[in-house]
Amino acid sequence: PGQVGELAQRVSSLMLGYHNAPALTETALDGDGWYYTGDLAVSDEKGFIRIVGRKKDMVIRGGQNIFPAEVERFVLGLDGVRNAAAVGRPHSVLGESLWLFVEIEEGAAWTAESLLAHCREQLAPAKRPDHVKILDSLPVTASGKVRKFLLKDMDISDE
- Using alpha carbons, list the distances in angstroms from residue 34 to 13, 31, 39, 52, 92: 11, 7, 14, 20, 36
Enter the pTM of the model.
0.76
**pLDDT score of 157 more than 80:** no
**pLDDT score of 158 more than 80:** no
Which of 67, 66, 61 has the alpha carbon at shortest distance from 92? 61
Residue 97's pLDDT band (cuts 50, 70, 90): very high
Rounded CA separation 145/150 (Å): 12
Question: pLDDT at position 114, please?
Answer: 97
Residues 5-33 pLDDT 10s: 999 999 888 888 899 999 989 889 998 88
**pLDDT score of 133 more than 90:** yes
Whole-number average pLDDT of the chain: 91
Q: What is the DSSP letter of 29?
A: B
Pair 149, 141: CB distance under 8 Å:
no
Cβ atoms within 10 Å, residue 76:
13
Residue 159's pLDDT band (cuts 50, 70, 90): very low
Residues 31-43 pLDDT 10s: 888 999 988 899 9
